[in-house]
A and B are shown apart, each in its own frame.
Chain A
């Protein structure tokens, strides 16, 4: 689908990982962003990327000439809020904000770690392979899969020695989070003031992934199923948002873009899987410095050429023709 952009309507382009397991996007990092845009009734198109499974900048949202990357400023959702592109929390009262922030922190940390552990370490490789590596040739997919498992273990601090202990700790925190959320939700449709917030997008993404993508043997899934209201919440919103139908989308490579002006995010320390530190911004060089560098290069090059000319004039380069010394010579003098 590559709908053309119009600068006034601010049509958004979400690039995420491909759909699977009945979900519009099977990646647990991409699904909350998709749901956030859905809950905000944003005008957006989805494109799927299947060639960069180990990137930490996906998902990203393009708006005009700017882009909100997953590994900047706390993620796509935070960036969209900060740039006032889409802010689900805008209409909530200041009284709800502290509660909202702490709930979001719990979902973003404890449940996020639980998903990471479950997907990459606890269960077998089939789920992760289907989501991330099925479109790549097998050897490359395998190598990237191993690399990802190594990175996740490093991120979660899981070693051979403390594996069981970390597992218990992760599941314990996840259970506590489920209980707290279950109590918070009660019979409501949304967590806060019956209006959707970014917490709803984050937890809904988590819950749908756990319920639909993880196998029945998954302990995390079993723990979530114990909380009926959370399961009902997820299924209800899935039907409401019509997530069963696969969104029309295009592969990123066949889309064409028109330029349009838009605000752009400020950079902050990145987060996300395999997060890499921000590159340091290049120091702006003054015109004088540039001029000096250019002149210095010309000077050095001229010196080098002068040396070469000197060497050439002192010694003519030999031919590269074949020596004929072994051939029979008939021209005897």
Chain B
């Protein structure tokens, strides 16, 4: 018999309550016999009711999961939020409970609502219950959302990571203060200290929505100091503001206003770098479109991913850097059907062009150009051309000779170690192919430790300062650097470790490619 009413909360199985409250019954001496008889009668009934009730519930659940049981949401009740504004919670879930017409759809919507509220990261727990609607309105249900706000709004974490843009790995820590003003706002302060004495300090705020803007907004102030003396003879200091204007699953739009200073305390830089030293303002709008249909971003075995990042700098004529920068990244993964193996391929490309009159003759800023090299994971990182295993960070591409010092003019001796500065390229292309597989021992498989073999290639070219006229696709393809290798990947709770042996297949004069073992640390998430 069809029954469109959902299970009312007040009609809980009596057997449960009986089971929990049976021990609390008190019997007196005077009424012991009657009580005993009454109890015996009740016990008989209790023995029959649980079975009947269980059967009844089973049939109801069977119906609910298979047949379309029509229901309408009458009201959404929010409980437990003492600090968080009702409007914030309602805004996250309001669109979900208008459409469902059946219990199945309602349960699915409740699942999504649960996930959305947990994503706010300001609640310790979220529970959603479907309660019976008013008696006078049959076929309706009330959705009760009960949240438990974070008991400790202050959280912190520490980790060790290596990033494509950094010279080596860094120790990072952050503190978060959640829900300070009840708008599910998250305030965070973070710091990162690199092995190469790079330093980053930042503080910011993130809100899931602000007034009429339905997407998350963020604002961040940061100070970053980075040392590129060994590779490009300059130190970089950045100070600025970053505003996240639009952030959804696929789209990200942000604005960055940065004061950048390049210095060379060693005074050994090449002429190209020497001319880039000084102060600059970066006023840039950055749009990123990302779609990741891979089954895992740490060890993908099927699916594809694509990202496109566009950056325009030189907004509002702040006398800053003017350029347009574009990156593409395409990945694909397919299972091989044995040893849990998967084949991953990737292709990345990027280009930067100065903006302005006679732009082909203008120069681009060195820090905004593309650099290849380093130890970051080929498979995990999705963000433009950067990694080329087997080569040192910033270890290939256009370079300029550093200053020569004559220690003793008479004897003619001179000092020049690491005599080239890598100045980056305006055009970058990288590609890789990777096969991952389980290791023979079960203990490794259970721990997620797996092996991989890879081959990768990449190249950089200069296009600015008139060099675009000399660019030749044939020569660009002929001068591709490449490397191959094998390695082991160890995922741990704190970070993901890659230990690779790399063999450089092709490199050119002044490149810093080296055969040997490399380590890489990245985020486990």
Per-residue contact bits, chain B 254-269, to A (CB 8 Å; 1 contact, 0 not) = 0000010000011100
| Stretch from B68-76, B400-408, B472-480, B502-510 at the A interface | B400-408
Given contacts A66-B403, A309-B449, contact A55 B277 (CB under 8 A): yes
CB-contacts of B464-503 with A (<8 A) = 465-466, 490-493, 497, 499
Q: Are B404 and A264 in contact (CB under 8 A)?
A: yes
Given contacts A312-B492, A326-B126, contact A332 B61 (CB under 8 A): yes
Q: Residue on A with the closest CB to B54? A: A332
Per-residue contact bits, chain B 431-448, to A (CB 8 Å; 1 contact, 0 not) = 000000000000110111
| Stretch from B111-119, B197-205, B213-221, B323-331 at the A interface | B111-119
Q: Are A259 and B401 in contact (CB under 8 A)?
A: yes
CB-contacts of A80-118 with B (<8 A) = 83
CB distance from B103 to the nearest CB of A (A): 9
Q: Indicate which residue in A308, A317, A322 contacts B115 across the interface (CB closer than 8 Å).
A: A322
Q: Residue on B with the closest CB to A72? A: B267
CB-contacts of B226-249 with A (<8 A) = none
Complex CA–CA separation, A317 to B272 (angstroms): 48
Q: Residue on A with the closest CB to B366? A: A253
| Stretch from A24-32, A135-143, A148-156, A187-195 at the B interface | A135-143
Q: Are B279 and A253 in contact (CB under 8 A)?
A: no
Contacts of B125 on A, CB cut-off 8 Å?
A: 326
Complex CA–CA separation, A120 to B259 (angstroms): 24
Contacts of A4 on B, CB cut-off 8 Å?
A: none
Is the CB of B274 closer than 8 A to any CB of chain A? yes
Is the CB of B79 closer than 8 A to any CB of chain A? no
CB-contacts of B420-459 with A (<8 A) = 443-444, 446-449
Q: Indicate which residue in A57, A65, A255, A312 contacts B401 across the interface (CB closer than 8 Å).
A: A65
CB-contacts of B330-380 with A (<8 A) = 361-363
Per-residue contact bits, chain A 36-47, to B (CB 8 Å; 1 contact, 0 not) = 000000000001
Q: Are B127 and A135 in contact (CB under 8 A)?
A: no
Per-residue contact bits, chain B 514-525, to A (CB 8 Å; 1 contact, 0 not) = 000101000011
Is the CB of A298 closer than 8 A to any CB of chain B? yes
Q: Indicate which residue in B107, B274, B407, B490 contacts A312 across the interface (CB closer than 8 Å).
A: B490
Q: Are B267 and A69 in contact (CB under 8 A)?
A: yes
Is the CB of A122 closer than 8 A to any CB of chain B? no
Contacts of B278 on A, CB cut-off 8 Å?
A: 49, 51-52, 55
Is the CB of A328 closer than 8 A to any CB of chain B? yes
CB distance from A297 to the nearest CB of B (A): 9
Contacts of A328 on B, CB cut-off 8 Å?
A: 107, 110, 130
Complex CA–CA separation, A305 to B497 (angstroms): 8
Q: Are A316 and B446 in contact (CB under 8 A)?
A: yes
Q: Indicate which residue in B259, B403, B449, B517 contacts A298 across the interface (CB closer than 8 Å).
A: B517
Is the CB of A241 closer than 8 A to any CB of chain B? no
Q: Indicate which residue in A140, A259, A311, A315 contacts B279 across the interface (CB closer than 8 Å).
A: A140
Complex CA–CA separation, A263 to B411 (angstroms): 12
Complex CA–CA separation, A332 to B62 (angstroms): 10
Q: Indicate which residue in A256, A259, A327, A330 contacts B465 across the interface (CB closer than 8 Å).
A: A256
Contacts of A55 on B, CB cut-off 8 Å?
A: 277-278
Q: Are A316 and B280 in contact (CB under 8 A)?
A: no
Given contacts A51-B279, A311-B492, contact A264 B403 (CB under 8 A): yes
Q: A256-B466, A301-B519, A317-B447 are in contact. List 11 more A-B contacts (CB 8 A).
A: A55-B277, A65-B401, A67-B403, A253-B362, A261-B404, A265-B405, A266-B406, A266-B407, A276-B265, A316-B446, A327-B110
Given contacts A253-B275, A322-B115, A326-B125, contact A308 B490 (CB under 8 A): yes
